[in-house]
Each structure stands twice: as structure tokens, then as C-alpha cells.
Amino acid sequence: MQNSVTPTHCPYCALQCGMNLTPTPDGTVEVGERTDFPVNRGALCGKGRTAPAVLSSRVRLTSPLVRSGGTLVPATWDEALDRITEGLRRTRTEYGPDAVGVFGGGGLTNEKAYTLGKFARVVLGTSQIDYNGRFCMSSAAAAGTKAFGLDRGLPFPLEDIPKTGCVILVGSNLAETMPPSLRFFTELKENGGTLIVVDPRRTRTAEQADLHLAPRPGTDLALALGLLHLVVAEGRVDEEYVERRTVGWEDARAAAMAHWPEYVERITGVPVPQLREAVRMFCEPEAAMVLTARGPEQQSKGTDTVGAWINLCLATGRAGRPLSGYGCLTGQGNGQGGREHGQKADQLPGYRKLDDPAARRHVAEVWGVDPDSLPGPGRSAYELLDALGTDVRALLLMGSNPVVSAPRAGHVEERLRSLDLLVVCDVVLSETAAQADVVLPVTQWAEETGTTTSLEGRVLLRRRAITPPDGVRSDLEVLRELADRLGVEKGFPTDPEEVFEELRRASAGGLADYSGITYRRLAEENGVFWPCPADSNDARAADGEPQDGPAADGAVHPGTPRLFLDRFATPDGRARFVAVSHRASAEEPDAEYPVLLTTGRVVAQYQSGAQTRRVEELNAAAPGPFVELHPRLAARLGAAEGDPVAVVSRRGRAVAPARITTAIRPDTVFMPFHWPGEGRANTLTNPALDPTSRMPEFKTCAVRLEAVRS
Ligand SMILES: Nc1nc2c(c(=O)[nH]1)N[C@H]1C(S)=C(S)[C@@H](COP(=O)(O)OP(=O)(O)OC[C@H]3O[C@@H](n4cnc5c(=O)[nH]c(N)nc54)[C@H](O)[C@@H]3O)O[C@H]1N2
Ligand SMILES: Nc1nc2c(c(=O)[nH]1)N[C@H]1C(S)=C(S)[C@@H](COP(=O)(O)OP(=O)(O)OC[C@H]3O[C@@H](n4cnc5c(=O)[nH]c(N)nc54)[C@H](O)[C@@H]3O)O[C@H]1N2
Ligand code: SF4
Ligand SMILES: [Mo]
């Protein structure tokens, strides 16, 4: 079939690096450099380079599996689909529609995420749908929406970074999590700009910084407030900007003034001179940015914390101006688009709210259903997982592996086991799929076409480069088959472009308006930034600066690379300060659990590892879990490099080899979360939720360490 080169994008993270694929005789593809995509200009990390390994039938699923006598055995598609249909029907009849849950993922294309949300509301009639993005950037999304009236991870393209004066990177280890993006920060420094990194560990990213602040995990809120206090005390507030473009300054200012530098030093462990230096570096240049990632966001106060960093930007006039602003580095391949089109518990396509009557009317009309038939908002991801086996009796899961990645994973595993029916669609037999009653093998990135929206808000076309192996079907085909069997014969097309055409209409007039974007444009341009309304006179939502578009043909909206330059997306066009104050984490160290655990990533593994743990080269680079700890803690424990160490929290116990380094604070240990089994970090983590975003506190909990006698 297709023999030529197909330009497309990486299946993994939100950078969505461009790559060229050439089919190989063994039915997979070879990855080649694609230099025309401006984000990575051909560069790829090891995960992207080796992604074709997961296309191989040696590691992937090629037949449906059904549980029979306790084990999963191969079955035909008809047998598997009939079993699901029967189980879903029975659950619905016995317990009502809300007893069926749906769990999606930020790695799913826009077309899949949209169809999954529609399937839940229209076919299943359930309110119980949410997705793993809740574990990812939901706190930044909530704070961004509050402050700016709109949540798009980055309000500017990455290419703006080298031209600003200073970037504060809060809790991002992008040298490992988005390696090709490091180039923008290197160029920033070459241009005379400065980089400040805030991370309890001296990471590969922190090593690049001009100033590294290493706060105690869970104290970023105090840190941001301390910086704002100094901004006020040193007379660095941009009064004219605050007056003209914001509301709520007086209350936010009063709250910040209660956070004296010495008090903040006591909470965070960051010395006052470093706080002062950070303020100087951030305020002196004409433009500056704050970028946050999971460090400050995955906390039970993540929304307030991001709000405090946004306050700092607003008080200094560094938002909605050229080369200045606040941005969140979204994580998953479609982490941005995945949060816009309706797989979230409270949401309808186009970033509309499920409890907004006008939104319900608009979307119901596109779907050809009665607005009153649409269920209301449901539970958030962890709350949904926690309700399995009680209120929610059957679960359809697509694009996540919560047995490894959910907080308090031992409990989540137990909840999954207590279901009457667990259905998992996946490309591999993940740890969660291994617990399912029915597993459906699906097609992957290089075998199917679809769109993703990168961390820049740039909508991209991923293209099919090869024919999938026999035995697998696409997620869209699965949803169509199930809809059919459950009595909804129309409205579930399997052609991605047809789905996108419907998504355009459903999103039209919403905050994330895609109605002016077509597959053709995506193929011809290097992606299109939303909002992009069909009618170019209709770009009021965000009022950004249009990009140098395609042939300026009046009717075509060029898309919006830069948001908020004239006004914010709030009703009055002004940004909102939030009045927030420091508070403790849900679990602080005590005599029994005296150490802080924080968690995160390593460069060679992706997320739950379901895909990357099946790639030899990546396993060679990152073979298993570890506990990173300071020599002082190690000495107290009597542990040498490589010795097994037990980490114990109120949720459970995990064991992994010690990795001893002075790069981490002596009061903190770090574990990556990519592995199941004994070294699973999420056995330990605390599911305390942020009250607004419902984000669990992955980044801090209290533990104790124990030596393990062999
Ligand atoms: N290699 C690789 N790349 C990935 C992924 C992957 O799994 N592997 N996943 C993708 C996804 S979905 C995401 S969300 C992104 C995540 O990208 P990042 O946010 O960069 O990744 P993390 O390692 O989770 O966290 C970043 C840093 O936060 C620090 N940190 C821990 N606690 C705190 C704290 O309390 N405050 C502060 N300021 N920092 C803290 C950690 O030490 C860590 O270095 O990566 C994406 N890219
Ligand atoms: N302790 C701790 N835990 C964390 C985090 C942390 O920092 N610390 N980070 C959290 C974050 S930010 C995230 S994003 C989550 C991610 O964690 P998960 O939600 O588990 O994400 P993945 O491991 O990417 O799981 C995706 C699954 O879907 C499959 N898959 C991939 N593409 C497709 C597709 O197109 N269709 C279908 N049907 N399946 C597909 C993959 O094979 C894999 O099994 O983990 C969270 N958990
Ligand atoms: S940085 Fe992200 S998008 Fe780029 S190659 Fe690596 S995993 Fe893929
Ligand atoms: Mo994420």
C-alpha cells in the first residue's frame, strides 16, 4: 500500500514532535527526520525514535480477549462485543444508566475523545465519564479559566520563549519530559535572557538554570506569594497595567502581603536572598514568562498555587502582552484537545459546560437529540475509580492504565476487581487490561488518521502510514459497533474526517472553536491554532493576534497563535486576580512518617509504561523503579547505592533500589511512577483532591523509609 513517506507526529507527549514515517517490509515503519515542523525541527527523544517497536505484533494485542474460567482467552470480535453489550444492558437495567462508567485518556485523538463523550451521553445515557487528564493539568486549567476566562496551555507558541527576558519554570523537568523543547531555553540564554527553575531536585533542567530554587514539595503557593510580596515591597507593581487590564488586585495584594520573605523561607526552605534575586531577574527585563508543569499542579492546592503564579504575572504586567505571559506545559499527546471535546465529567465539546442550558441546546442539536436527554455533570476521575463496584458496576476504559498511574493504586486495583464488567480497549495488554473481563485490541497512531492539539494549542494532523494488522479495529469502530448493538444506529461514523466535521460544528461558537479548521488546512499548514472560527469575523472569544495565515482569502480565519493581546476572554475583558493564602499539604510529615515523597518521570519511560516498557532500548536505559534520596537519609538508613529500600506510607509499602544523590533535598525522596509491582510509586500516593480541579496530590505525601534485609 502506501510506500512513500508520510509526515506525521509522535504518539507520545504533548510536544507532538513532527516525524516522517516510511513503511518497512515487516509491516511497521521507520522514523525519519521531519525538519519542516517548527517545534522540534527534526529532533526526537528516544521514545519518539523507538515508537515503531510497539507496532510489532510481538508486543501488541491482535485478538479480542474474554475472561473465561478466570483467565483471558482469545475470542472473535462478535463474541467479545456481544459479551460487552449484554453486560452493559444488564447493568443498566438492574442499576440504571449511571451504573455504567467511562474512563478516557488525554492520549486519544480529538475524534476519539469527542466520540467517547458523545457515546457516554447519547448511547449509555450516563453522567459517569471522566479521564486521566484530571490527573494531569486540571489544576492549571481551572486556574487559567478563572484568571483569563479561557484555558489553553500555552497562550503563545514555543518559538516566543527565546525572545523573552526571563522564564520561571515551576516544577517542570522538560529536559527529560520534552527534550527537544530544551532548545528554546538554550536560545533564550544565548539571547541574554535568564532561566529560573523551581524544583525540589537539581534535575537536568535545573542544571540549565541561572537560578535554581529548591523548595520543599508542596510549598509553591507560599513561594509565589513570597515573590509577590517582594514585588510590592520593592515597588515593582505595574500599576497602570493592573488598573487597565485586571480586577481583584486589592484582595490579592492584601493576601500576598501576609507572606513575609522570612516566613516564606521558613515554609519553603528557599533563602530570602534567592527570593530577592528571582524577583530582580523576573522584573528587570521588559518581558517575562511563568511556565508551570506537574510539580506545583499535582497538589491538593494546585489550583490556588497556579493562581498565585498568575497573580505574579498580572501584578508585573506580564500577561496578554507580546513575549510575556503565563503558560502550563500540558503533558499528554492530546492533553490539550482531550480536555476540550467532552470526555471530561462536566463538559461538552468546544470547551462548553454541561450545566449551561445554551451549550446543551447547541450540542444536542448537532447530535440530533433532546437537550433534556443529556445527563448532568458526573464524578471526577479518582472519585469515579473510587466508586467502582458500588455505585458504578461496569466500566469502559479507553486510553489509560490506572492500575499503575492512579493515586492509591492498590485501592483502585481492588475497586476495578469488584466491578461486574470491566472492558478495556488498548493496543497492549496493560496491567489494567490484564484485569478486564473483555479486552479489545485497537489500532495505533501510525495505522490511523486523527487530530491532536499540542501544548501550544496547535491542532495537528496525525496521518495513517501503514495498514493495521488483521484482528485489530479502531476505537471509532469499537464505539460504532457498540452503539449499533445498543440500538443507536446513527451518529457514530468511523471515518475520522467525518467525525472531525461534526466536531467542528459542535465546537462552533464555543471557547475552543475548531469550526474554521479542516483536514485539508491541517495537511497544507503546519497545524492551526484555536480558536479558529469558520467565519473570520467571529473571532471575538479570545481576541488574539491572527497568524500569518494561508492565502489571505478573507473568509478563512488564520487561527490564533497568541491569545489575550487586546483583551482576556472574560466578559469584561479583564484578567482576574485570586486572593489566596498558603496552606499545608493534605499530609505533612510527622514522627511516624517523617519524610516527604514526591513522584514524577524519567526520560526513557512514558507514563504507566504500558507502551515504553515494551521497547528494549528504553528498558535498557531505564530498567526499573528507584528511590532517589540524599546521602544523609541513606546514611541514617544504612543503605548503600543500589540497596533495596522500603518506602512506607499510610496507603502501602513499595520497595525499590536506592539511588543516592545530593541533587535532592535531604527531607524528600523521589520515585518515578512508570512501573507496576513492588516498586509501584502509586501504592504510596495520597488521593487527597484539590477542591476545585479534583486533582490528586501526586506530588507530596508523608512516608517513612525502612532498610530491607535480604
Ligand atoms: N519521559 C517522559 N516524558 C513525558 C511523560 C512521561 O511519562 N515520560 N509524560 C508526559 C506527561 S502526561 C506529562 S503531564 C509531562 C510531565 O512533565 P513534568 O511536569 O516535567 O514531569 P514530572 O516529572 O512529573 O514533574 C516535574 C518536576 O516536578 C518536580 N516536583 C516534585 N514535587 C514538586 C513540588 O512540590 N514543587 C515543584 N515546584 N516541583 C516539584 C519533580 O522533582 C520533577 O522534576 O511529561 C510528558 N512527557
Ligand atoms: N505518582 C504519580 N502518578 C501519576 C503522575 C505523577 O506525576 N506521579 N502523573 C499523572 C499524569 S500527569 C498522567 S497524564 C497519568 C497518565 O497515566 P495513564 O492514564 O495510565 O497513561 P498511559 O500510561 O499513557 O496509558 C495509556 C494507555 O492507553 C493505551 N493507549 C495508547 N493510545 C491509545 C489509543 O489510541 N486508544 C486506546 N484505546 N488505548 C491507547 C496505552 O497502551 C496505555 O495502556 O498518570 C498520572 N499518574
Ligand atoms: S519529546 Fe514527546 S513528542 Fe517529541 S519525540 Fe519525545 S515523546 Fe515524542
Ligand atoms: Mo500528564
Cβ atoms 203, 173 nearer than 8 A: yes
E strand or H helix that includes residue 328: strand 325-328
pLDDT of residue 163: 98
pLDDT of residue 709: 80
Burial class of residue 591 (count of CB atoms within 10 Å of its CB; 0-12, 13-18, 19+)? exposed
Q: Are residues 122 and 11 located together in one domain of the fold?
A: no
Atom 13 in ligand 2: which residue has the minimum CA distance? 136
* Residue 411 included in any domain: yes
Cβ atoms 344, 131 nearer than 8 A: yes
* Residue 506 included in any domain: no
Cβ atoms 8, 465 nearer than 8 A: yes
pLDDT average per 10 residues of sequence, the chain (710 residues): 83 98 94 97 98 96 97 98 98 98 98 98 98 97 98 98 98 98 98 98 98 98 98 98 98 98 98 98 98 98 98 98 98 97 96 97 98 98 98 98 98 98 98 98 98 98 97 98 97 98 97 97 95 70 45 74 97 98 98 98 98 98 98 97 98 98 98 98 98 98 92
Residue that finishes a domain, picked among 269, 295, 328? 328
pLDDT of residue 570: 98
Q: Are residues 553 and 702 located together in one domain of the fold?
A: no
Burial class of residue 519 (count of CB atoms within 10 Å of its CB; 0-12, 13-18, 19+)? middle
Could you give the CA distance from residue 588 to residue 596 in angstroms, rounded to a whole number? Answer: 8
Atom 23 in ligand 1: which residue has the minimum CA distance? 600
Return the SS3 of 222. Answer: helix
Q: Where are the alpha helices (DSSP H) in 40-122?
A: 46-50, 77-95, 110-118
Q: Is the CB of 179 under 6 A from ligand 3?
A: yes
**Could you tell me the CA-to-CA distances from 483 to 336, 424, 441, 566 in Å, in that order?**
27, 16, 18, 45
Q: Are residues 382 and 402 located together in one domain of the fold?
A: yes
- How far is the centre of ligand 3, averaged over its atoms, from the C-alpha of 9 (Å)? 9
Q: Are residues 542 and 599 located together in one domain of the fold?
A: no
What are 572's three cell numbers? 469584561
The CATH number linked to 291 is 3.40.228.10
**Could you tell me the CA-to-CA distances from 292 to 140, 141, 172, 196, 404 in Å, in that order?**
8, 11, 7, 12, 24
Q: Is the CB of 510 under 6 A from ligand 2?
A: no
Longest dimension (CA), the chain: 73
pLDDT of residue 555: 72
* Residue 580 included in any domain: no
- How far is the centre of ligand 1, averaged over its atoms, from the C-alpha of 177 (Å)? 7
Burial class of residue 128 (count of CB atoms within 10 Å of its CB; 0-12, 13-18, 19+)? buried
Q: Are residues 75 and 14 located together in one domain of the fold?
A: no
Could you give the CA distance from residue 402 to residue 575 in angstroms, rounded to a whole number? Answer: 36
For the CA of 11, the closest atom of ligand 2 is 32
Residue pointed to by grid coordinates 519542516 = 36
Cβ atoms 411, 651 nearer than 8 A: yes
Q: How many Cβ atoms sit within 10 Å of the Cβ of residue 38?
A: 14
* Residue 112 included in any domain: yes
Residue that finishes a domain, picked among 550, 568, 586? 568
The CATH number linked to 29 is 2.20.25
- How far is the centre of ligand 1, averaged over its atoms, from the C-alpha of 498 (Å)? 36
For the CA of 299, the closest atom of ligand 1 is 35
Q: Are residues 20 and 126 located together in one domain of the fold?
A: no
> Which ligand is in closest contact with the Cα of 676?
2
Q: Are residues 172 and 303 located together in one domain of the fold?
A: yes
The CATH number linked to 411 is 3.40.50.740
* Residue 228 included in any domain: yes
Residue to substitute in 15, 35, 41 for testing ligand 3 pocket (most ligand atoms within 8 angstroms of CB): 15
Q: Are residues 23 and 127 located together in one domain of the fold?
A: no
Please state the domain count of the chain: 5
Q: Are residues 677 and 612 located together in one domain of the fold?
A: yes
- Paired with 392 in beta bridges are 388
The CATH number linked to 614 is 2.40.40.20
pLDDT of residue 543: 47
Return the SS3 of 370. Answer: coil
Q: How many Cβ atoms sit within 10 Å of the Cβ of residue 210?
A: 14
* Spatial CA neighbour of 682 closest among 647, 708, 709: 647
Q: Are residues 216 and 317 located together in one domain of the fold?
A: yes
> Which ligand is in closest contact with the Cα of 447?
2
For 420-487, the DSSP string reads SEEEEEESS--TTGGG-SEEEEB--GGGS-EEEE-TTSEEEEE---SPPPTT-B-HHHHHHHHHHHTT
* Residue 451 included in any domain: no
Supply the pTM of this predicted model: 0.97
Q: Are residues 217 and 98 located together in one domain of the fold?
A: no
- How far is the centre of ligand 1, averaged over its atoms, from the C-alpha of 374 (Å)? 36
- How far is the centre of ligand 3, averaged over its atoms, from the C-alpha of 546 (Å)? 27
Could you give the CA distance from residue 360 to residue 366 in angstroms, rounded to a whole number? Answer: 10
Q: Are residues 632 and 657 located together in one domain of the fold?
A: yes
* Residue 287 included in any domain: yes
Q: Is the CB of 600 under 6 A from ligand 2?
A: yes
* Strands 352-353 and 696-697, sheet pairing: unpaired
* Residue 232 included in any domain: yes
Residue that finishes a domain, picked among 303, 328, 353? 328
Could you give the CA distance from residue 87 to residue 82 in angstroms, rounded to a whole number? Answer: 8
Burial class of residue 709 (count of CB atoms within 10 Å of its CB; 0-12, 13-18, 19+)? exposed
| Domain encompassing residue 606 | 595-707
Q: Is the CB of 672 under 6 A from ligand 2?
A: no
Could you give the CA distance from residue 279 to residue 231 in angstroms, rounded to a whole number? Answer: 7
